[in-house]
Structure 1
Amino acid sequence: MTSRLVPPAGPRRVLALAQLANSIGDGAYYVTSALYFTHVVGLAPARVGLGLTVAWAVGSLAGVPLGRVADRRGARGAAVLLAVGTAAAVGSFLVVRGFLPFVLAACAYATAQSGMAAARQALLAGLVTAGERTGLLAHLQATLNAGLAVGAGLGGLALQAGTRAAYLGVFALDAASFLVCAALLLRLPTVAPVTVGEGREQGVLRGRPTRERDGLGVVRDRPYVVVALLNTVLLLRMPLLSLGLPLWIAERTTAPAWLVSALFVLNTGAVMAFQVRMARGVTGLGSATRAVRRSGWVMLAACAVFALSAGVPRRPAVGFLAVGAVLQVVAEMGQSAGSWQLSFDLAPVDRVGEYQGFFGTGVTVARTLGPLVLTSLLVGWGTPGWLLLGGATVVASHAMGPAARWAADRMTRPGVDAGREGARTGWVTGPVRRGQWISNSPPK
C-alpha cells in the first residue's frame, strides 16, 4: 500500500507530499465550508451557491492565462506564488462578513486554485519524462484521496463541536496547508521557462503556425478543444457520490441513509489502493483512448446496476448500490488515467501550462453543471435517466478515439524527430503515414 501512495524519492515524492499537504486542508474545508458561510458568516444558502458559481466561472477563465504565465515565467515560481495566493484567499474568508466580500474572496480562491493546478501540471511535465507522467499522476490521485479523507475527518470534528472557533480553526488549517505546499514546492528543481516554438526543432509541435499571439491561444486549437469537451462530458459523473447517489438513495430506494457514507469510503479507498495499478497500462495515445473507451462501457454497466436498486427490498437495494459503486470507481480510475495521458500528449511541449489550464476547466464545468444534470436525470427521470447518463458516457468515450486521432494528426510535421515522438506516444507520424497507430490497435 505504501508504494502505491508514495512515489520514489526525489521530485516525484516532493510533488506527492505537496499534494498531500494541501489536500488535507481542502478535505476539512469541503465538509465545513457550506455551514461556515451560512451559520457563521450568515449568508443565505442561495447566495452561497450563487457566489461559488460565479467564483468558479471566473476561476475557469483564469486557468488558461495563468497556465501561460507558468510556461513563460517558470512553472515552479508560478506554482509557489499561486499556492501562497490560495492561502491568502482562504485566510480572507476568516474576516468576510457580507455577500460582496464573500464573492470577491471566493473569486480569488477559485482563480488561485485553477492557476495553481495548471502551474503544477506544467511543473510536473518539466520534472519527469513523458512516459512517467501518467504513473505519477496516479500516485498523486491516490495521495489526494488519502489527504481528503484525513481532512474530512478533521472537518468532522469541527462539525461535531459546532462552534465558531472550530470553523475558524478549519479555515486556518486550510490556509496553513497551502503554505506548507508552497514550501515543499520550493524544494523542487527550477524548471526553465519556455518560449513559443522552442520545441519545434524537436519535431513535437504542431506544424501549423502558433496561435498564441492572437490572444486566443489554446481555444483556437480545435482538435484539443474537442478532446477537452468530450472529457468534460465524462466528468459529469463527478457529483455522483456527493449529490446524485444520496438523492437517489433517499428518494428512490429503501436503502439506509448511512450507505451514502459507506459508498464514499469505498470509492476513496479503491482509488487509494488501485489507481496506480490501473494507470500502469496507459503509456501512449492508443492505450489512453482504449482505457477511456472501456471506462465508458463500465460506467454504463454501473448506471444500469444503480437503476436496479429502485423499487426492491432493502437488502437487494444495498447489494445493487454496492456493485454499482464498484463498477463506477473502476470506470472513474480508467477514465482518469486515459484523460491524463491525452491531456499531456496532445499539448505542445512549450505550452503545457496553458493547455492544462484549459483542460482543467472541464472539472469546473462538471462541478457547475453536474448537480443540475444529475438531479434532473436521476431523481427526475429515474431508470431512463440512469440509462441516458450511461449512454452519453459511452458515446463520449468512443468519440474520444477519433478526436485524439484528429489532434495527433495535426500535432507534428513530417520528419525523423516527429516519428520518434509518435513512437513514444504509440502513434506514428511524419514519413510513415500520419495517424497510423503502432503497438496499439486504432480507435474505433
Structure 2
Amino acid sequence: MGSAFAEPGVQRTFVVSTFVATIGGGIILPISTLYFIKIVGLSAAQVGLAFTVSGLLAIPLSVPAGALADRIGPRRVMMATFAGHSLVGVSYLFVQNFWMLLAVQMLSAASLAANYPASGAMLRRIGGDQAVTIRSKIRVVANLGVSLGSLIAGVGIQIDTATSYRVLALAFTLTQVASLAMLFRLPNYQPLPRPEKEADGSEGAPSKRIALRDKAFLAYSLVGGAMAIQNMILEIMIAVWIVNYTDAPGWAVTVAFVLNTALVVMLQVRIGAKIQSITDGGTALRRAGFALLLGCAAMSLMAGVPAWAALLLLVVGMVLLTLGEIYYVSGTFAFEFGMPPAYAQGQYQGVAGAVSGAAKAAAPALLLGVALSLGSTGWIGVGAFLLLLGLTGPAIARWGERTRPSGEITEAQTAATDASTGSASPATDVV
C-alpha cells in the first residue's frame, strides 16, 4: 500500500488528501437520494430533478475554474472546492424542500466541477514528468476510498434512522475538512509565465482561451468525453441488466463491483506505468475500445441462459470491461497531461472535464432508455460505439504530437519557476 500512496513528501500528501476525500464520496453517494426521499420526505422525481439540473448547470464552470487555477495557483481553487463540499454536508441537515435541495446540489456540483481541473493543475506541478504515473496511483486509492466509504454508509443505511443518515452526512463533512487541512501542507504554487509568442511564432502571448483553440485537444476531448460513458456502465447499467434481464442471482451485482475494484487496484498502476506519452495514450484508447466491445458482447450473452452460465459470463464480461476501463483512463491521463502546456494545465483539464461531464449527464438516457430497451442488441451497440471512438485514438495522438509547440515551458523550467517564487520542490519538500 505504501507504493500506492506515492513517495513521502508532497506527492504522498496530495494522494492521501484525495484518499480521505473519496472516503467521503463513498459515504455520501449511497445515502444522498435515500436521505432526501426517506428522511426529508421529497419525492423521487424531485430529487432526480434537483440532481440532474444542478449537474447540467455546473458543467460550464469547469473551464473557467481551470483557467482560474492557472492564474492564481491551483491550491487556492482546490481549497475553495473542499470548503464548498464541507458546507454541503452540513447543509444536508437543514434541507426541507425542493428549492433548498437544489441550492445545496448546485453547490455540490459546482465544487465537483471546479475540483477536477484544479486538482489536475496541482498534480502537474507536483508530479512533473511523473504526473501520469501518480494519477494512476491516485485512481487506485480513490477506488479504495470509495469502497471504504460505501462500507461505512452501509452501516448507517442498515440502521435506517434519521440520526444515522445525519451522522453520515457529518462524517462526509469531516472528510472534506480533513482533506482541506492537508492542502495547507502542499506548496502554494504560483502561476507559470506564458511564452512571449504564439505557438505559430507570431508576436503576443497565447490566448487565455488557448485550450478552446487547440483543435487536436478538442478532438481528443470529444472522443475521450464520449467514451466516458463506459464509467456509467458499471454504475447504472449492469445492476438493472442483472436483476431485470437475466437469471443471475441478485448478489451478482456485488460480485461485479468487487471484481472491478480488485482489478483496478491490482492493474491500474502496472498498466498505467507503460502509458506515458501522447502516442501511448492513442494506443491505449484503441485497446480500450476492443476490450469494451468484447466485454459488452459477453454481457449481452447473459440473457436467456441458466444462472450459472450468466454468472460465468458476468465474470468474463467484468474482466474485459475493467481492462477496457483501465486502458481508457490511462489513455486519458496521457492525453490530458501530455498535450497541455504547463502554464494552462487547469484550462485544458477544464475543457476535458466539461465534455466528459456532459457525456455522463447524457449516459442514463442512452444506457437505460435506449440500450437496455434493446436488450442484448443494445449491449452490442454500446460496445460498437465505444470501439469506433477508441479506433480514432492513434490518429488524434499523431495530430496532437504534430501540433505541440516546440517552445512551450518544460518541466525543468516549471521547477525553476517554483524555486524562484519560493514554492517547495516536489523532490525536496518532505512532509
TM-score (norm 2): 0.90
> Which residue matches 2:145?
147
2:172 is matched with which residue? 174
Separation (CA, whole Å) in 1 of partners of 2:237 and 2:327: 21
Say whether 1:344 aligns with 2:337. Answer: yes
Q: What is residue 416 of structure 2 aligned with on the other side? A: none
Q: State the shift of 1:371 in Å.
A: 1.3
Q: Which residue number in structure 2 is paired with residue 9 of structure 1? A: 8
Distance in 2 between residues matched to 1:419 and 1:61, nearest whole Å: 28
For residue 178 of structure 1, report the CA deviation from its aligned partner.
0.9
Deviations for 1:113-171, whole angstroms, at most 9, x for unmatched residues?
111221111011111222x1111011000000110011000100110011111111111
Deviates most, 108-117 or 327-336: 108-117
Contact 2:256-2:315 at 8 Å conserved across structures:
yes
Counterparts of 2:74 and 2:201 in 1: how far apart (Å)? 25
Q: Residue 396 of structure 2: which of 387, 390, 403 is its match?
A: 403
Q: CA deviation at 1:194?
A: 2.6
Q: Per the alignment, do residues 420 and 97 of structure 1 end up closer, same or farther by CA in structure 2, a change over 3 Å counting? A: closer
Query: Which residues of structure 2 form unaligned runs of 5+?
Result: 412-431
Identity %: 26
Task: Give the SS at the match of 2:7.
Answer: coil
Q: Contact 1:4/1:142 (CA < 8 Å) preserved in 2? A: no
Residue in 2 that maps onto 1:102? 101
**C-alpha contact (below 8 Å) 1:206/1:411 kept by paired residues:** no
Check conservation: 2:275, 2:334, Cα contact below 8 A: yes
Aligned pair partner of 1:313 in 306, 312, 321: 306
The residue number in structure 1 matching 2:213 is 220
The answer (yes or no) to whether the contact 1:90–1:109 under 8 Å persists in 2 is no
What is residue 385 of structure 1 aligned with on the other side?
378
Supply the AA of the counterpart residue of 1:296. G
Report what 1:442 is aligned to: none
Aligned length: 410
Q: 1:81, CA displacement in angstroms? A: 2.2
Question: Partners in 1 of 2:119 and 2:201 — Cα distance?
Answer: 27
TM-score (norm 1): 0.88
Q: Say if 1:420 and 1:123 are closer, same or farther in 2 by CA, change over 3 A.
A: closer
Partners of 2:66 and 2:168 lie apart in 1 by 29
What residue is the counterpart of 2:155 in the other structure? Answer: 157
1:222 deviates by: 2.8
* Cα distance in 2, alignment partners of residues 165 and 251 from structure 1: 33
Amino acid in structure 2 at the alignment position of 1:44: S
1:296 aligns with 2:295: no
Residue 382 of structure 1: CA displacement? 1.6
Query: Take 2:272 and 2:394, find their aligned partners in 1: how far apart are those partners?
Result: 18
Contact 2:343–2:409 (Cα < 8 Å) also in 1: no
| Structure 1 residues 225-304: aligned runs within 5 Å | 225-304=218-297
Shift of 1:342: 0.1
Q: Distance in 2 between the 1:212 and 1:95 partners?
A: 44
**1:189 matched to which residue of 2?**
187
Q: Any runs of at least 4 consecutive aligned residues in structure 1 with deviations exceeding 3 A, and if so which?
A: 205-213, 417-421
Q: Quote the Cα distance in structure 2 between the aligned partners of 1:266 and 1:303.
A: 16
Kindly indicate whether the alpha-carbon contact (under 8 Å) linking 1:234 and 1:396 is maintained by their aligned counterparts in 2.
yes
Q: Which residue of 2 aligns with 1:430?
A: none
Deviations 1:335-377 (A, max 9, x none): 1011111012111221111111121124422331111111134
